[in-house]
């Protein structure tokens, strides 16, 4: 009997991403959520829009330690099973999306195709 794993899991946020969001909120003095959205555009067809925002009525809210990450209903299908992380490298620090739905992406990491 083959084990069937669910293929429609919501995105997951790493502890590192939640910790960085907490640092940003503390530095700005505002308790905003991190919105992760998918929009048409970019060099590969779709691009990520990552910004601080307030929750909307149709948002999926991923929460830990008082910090919130938001995904709107339109973006959610593009982010199924994705991992939202934060990375610090020599070229800079940023939130990154590890998206198994993307068939290709550009070098900047903010644009992808499905």
How far, in Å, CA of 40 to CA of 25, rounded? 28
Residue 7: inside a domain:
no
Does 3 map to a domain?
no
Round to whole Å and give the CA distance between 46 and 10.
Answer: 19
Reported as a single tens digit per residue, the pLDDT across 6-33 is: 557 899 999 999 999 999 999 999 999 9
Classify residue 2: in a domain, yes or no. Answer: no
Residues 60-100 pLDDT 10s: 999 999 999 999 999 999 999 999 999 998 888 899 999 88
| CATH number for 59 | 2.60.300.12
Contact 51, 35 (CB under 8 A): yes
Residue 1 domain-assigned (yes or no) = no
| pLDDT score recorded for residue 66 | 94
Nearest to 88 by CA among 13, 4, 17: 17
Total structural domains in the chain? 1
By residue range, what is the domain housing residue 21?
Answer: 12-113
The pTM score is: 0.82
């Amino acid at each position: 009997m083959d084990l069937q794993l669910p293929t429609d899991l919501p995105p997951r946020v790493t502890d590192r991403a939640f910790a960085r969001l907490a640092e940003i909120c503390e530095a700005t003095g505002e308790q905003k959520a991190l919105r992760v959205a998918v929009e048409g555009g970019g060099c590969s067809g779709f691009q990520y829009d990552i910004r601080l925002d307030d929750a909307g009525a149709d948002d999926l809210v991923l929460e830990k330690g008082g910090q919130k990450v938001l995904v709107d209903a339109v973006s959610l299908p593009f982010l199924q099973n994705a991992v939202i992380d934060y990375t610090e490298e020599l070229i800079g620090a940023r939130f990154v999306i590890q998206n198994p739905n993307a068939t290709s992406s550009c070098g900047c990491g903010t644009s992808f195709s499905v």
